[in-house]
Amino acid sequence: MQREVLFFTEMGYTAYPQDQAKKLGYNNLMFPNEYFSPEKAQELYSMYFEELQYCTESGFDGVMINEHHNNPLCMMPSVNVIGSVLARTTKKGKIAFLGNVLPIHENPLRIAEEIAMIDILSGGRVICGFVRGIGQESIATNTNPIYNRERFDEAHDVIIKAWTTPGPFRYEGKHYQYRVVNPWVMPLQKPHPPIWIPGVASTESIVWAAKHKYPYVALAPPMNLLRGIYDLYDETAEADGWTPTAEHRAYAIRVNVADTDEKAYEEGKNFYWQLGTSFGITPPHWQAPPGYISRSSAQGAREAARTAASNITPGGPSLPYDEAQETVQVITGNPDTVIKKLKKIIDLIDPGYIVLWGREGPMSHDVAMRSIDLMGQEVIPAIKEYQAVG
């Protein structure tokens, strides 16, 4: 396959007062929503949608969107609403949903119907991603974290069966029961839209993705963990009797491209806008409440390596900006510099898909658009053409 490149932004709400967040010690879940301004959010949405639409016209193969709740990092509490807007405002390019937070929903059939609708509206451009969410989303929706993995698995199975088995039929599971499963709107893509599974480095998620032959999207983990992620994926696949290819590997990385290395370096600091990291400060019991991670996974060697790794996002020790660049969690530079750095990633794992996390936080619209231009004109052609060495 030819390598494909997508663009990603969290659509962060940047107008909240960081001084108040610092006083409280966090900026999510329990951070008072009195600091949210719908008028400011309207301005930000307009800017973000303009940038995403421009990406699809400027050399990117598509855009990636996601979902988070109770968090100013992300103004996408419904990835499906954002995706439906993009289905009609963009004319080409994939729309990757990474993704619907399955365990917090009481009706996965609603997700199946909505994704099917959007796939039709977009002309079959949807990539469907499923996620377990982070612990605070289970807390906010009062879903028991002990059953997070069970609910994820069962919701996934319900959705796939609804898309692939002619109805009507009855479904009786542990967490979901339906007297009639007979969705009238079905996806345009057959048997269903492609499914991707994103994560930082969770052992259980990597194994689950491999067992289902779904591409695994590594969300900017430290580079020293990257090879191990896909080694585990490959080992799992081979034990099940099949061999993964580049199309099963995807990598998302924070990137800022500017006309000079110095300018890009300064602009890249926007990835640290939320109290020092791009995901803000999160108490450990909000991030992973008891039961959210299985005992075997939590006590495993891979999990120990993951939590010990210095990471820009929650789950490990905090990381200074310069070190985040050394561990390739943030890449900045002029086009030539960024291309050289991305080639190292390609040589390491040869991903079929690269997601350039290209804007964050208080980065200005002009800065983001210039970075998009340089990516489309210089970076993307170079990394599409490049063949992995080794």
CB 110 within 8 A of CB 72: no
Contacts of 320 (CB under 8 A, 6+ apart): none
Per-residue pLDDT tens digits of the chain, which is 390 residues long: 899 999 999 999 999 998 999 899 888 999 999 999 999 999 999 999 999 999 999 999 999 999 999 999 999 999 999 999 999 999 999 999 999 999 999 999 999 999 999 999 999 999 999 999 999 999 999 999 999 999 999 999 999 999 999 999 999 999 999 999 999 999 999 999 999 999 987 899 999 999 999 999 999 988 889 999 999 999 999 999 999 999 999 999 999 999 999 999 999 999 988 887 777 777 888 888 988 887 766 655 555 555 555 567 664 457 889 999 998 899 999 999 999 999 999 999 999 999 999 998 899 999 999 999 999 999 999 999 999 997
Phi first, then psi: give them for residue 84, nearest 5 degrees. Answer: -70, -35
Q: What is the pLDDT of residues 110-164, one digit of tens each?
A: 999 999 999 999 999 999 999 999 999 999 999 999 999 999 999 999 999 999 9
Q: What integer pLDDT is reported at residue 304 of this predicted model?
A: 53
Domain segments of the chain as ranges = 4-385
Cα 367 from Cα 234, distance rounded (Å): 39
Phi first, then psi: give them for residue 356, nearest 5 degrees. Answer: -90, 110
Q: What integer pLDDT is reported at residue 68 of this predicted model?
A: 94
Q: What integer pLDDT is reported at residue 277 of this predicted model?
A: 77
Contacts of 39 (CB under 8 A, 6+ apart): none
What are the structure tokens assigned to 137, written together? 């989303």
Tell me if the domain spanning 4-385 has CATH number 3.30.465.10.
no
What are the structure tokens assigned to 282, written together? 């999160």
3-state DSSP helix/strand/coil % of the chain, to nearest 5 = 45, 15, 35
pTM over 0.75: yes
Q: What integer pLDDT is reported at residue 25 of this predicted model?
A: 87
Cα 175 from Cα 67, distance rounded (Å): 22
Give the three-state DSSP class for 136: helix
Cα 172 from Cα 178, distance rounded (Å): 6
Q: What integer pLDDT is reported at residue 317 of this predicted model?
A: 55
Tell me the C-alpha to C-alpha distance, in Å, between residue 305 and each of 90, 129, 149, 168, 201: 41, 26, 22, 47, 10
CB 4 within 8 A of CB 346: no
Rounded to 10°, the helix 108-121/148-164 angle is 50
CB 125 within 8 A of CB 94: yes
Q: What is the pLDDT of residues 53-90, one digit of tens each?
A: 999 999 999 999 999 999 999 999 999 999 999 999 99
Closest to 348 measured CA to CA, from 249, 203, 254: 249
Q: What integer pLDDT is reported at residue 275 of this predicted model?
A: 80
Closest to 197 measured CA to CA, from 66, 328, 60, 52: 66
Q: What integer pLDDT is reported at residue 2 of this predicted model?
A: 92
Listed in sequence order, the DSSP H helices in the chain are 18-24, 38-56, 79-89, 108-121, 135-141, 148-164, 203-211, 223-239, 261-267, 284-287, 295-298, 301-308, 321-326, 335-349, 365-374, 380-385
Q: What integer pLDDT is reported at residue 318 of this predicted model?
A: 72
CB 217 within 8 A of CB 353: yes
Quick check: bond before 168 cis, omega within 30? yes
- CB atoms under 10 Å from CB of 179, counted, come to 8
CB 193 within 8 A of CB 94: no
Q: How far apart are the first and last CA of the chain?
A: 18
Closest to 158 measured CA to CA, from 201, 96, 102: 102
Q: What integer pLDDT is reported at residue 313 of this predicted model?
A: 67
The amino acid sitting at 157 is D
- Residue 196: beta bridge partners? 129
Is the sign of the CA dihedral 362, 219, 203, 142 positive or negative?
A: positive
